[in-house]
Amino acid sequence: MVADYINHVTTGIYSLHIYNICCILAKCRGSLLHFLNSISFIRKQVNHVVHCKDFTILCS
């Protein structure tokens, strides 16, 4: 129970961190395709947590 809670909190913090990285990259890169290519390594690592492409609209 406690382990699940800690995992949930850690996942949430990690998601927020990835979200921030996605926002920074989205602002620095012009094209969406280039943006997705540049963060593909992040998306592969956390595809079960967050998809950066979903944030491009929120961060634009």
Residue 31 has a pLDDT of: 56
Residue 43 has a pLDDT of: 56
How many separate domains does the chain show?
1
pTM over 0.85: no
Written as six digits, the tokens of 47 are: 């595809």
Could you read off the pLDDT tens digit of each residue along the chain, which spans 60 residues? 566 665 555 655 566 666 666 666 666 555 565 556 666 655 555 544 445 555 555 554
d(CA 12, CA 9): 5
Structural domain of residue 10, as residue ranges? Answer: 2-59
Residue 49 has a pLDDT of: 45
What is the DSSP secondary structure assignment for residue 39, as one 8-state letter?
T
Give residue for tokens 């947590």. Answer: 49
Show the CA angle centred on residue 23, arms to residues 3 and 32, nearest 5°: 120
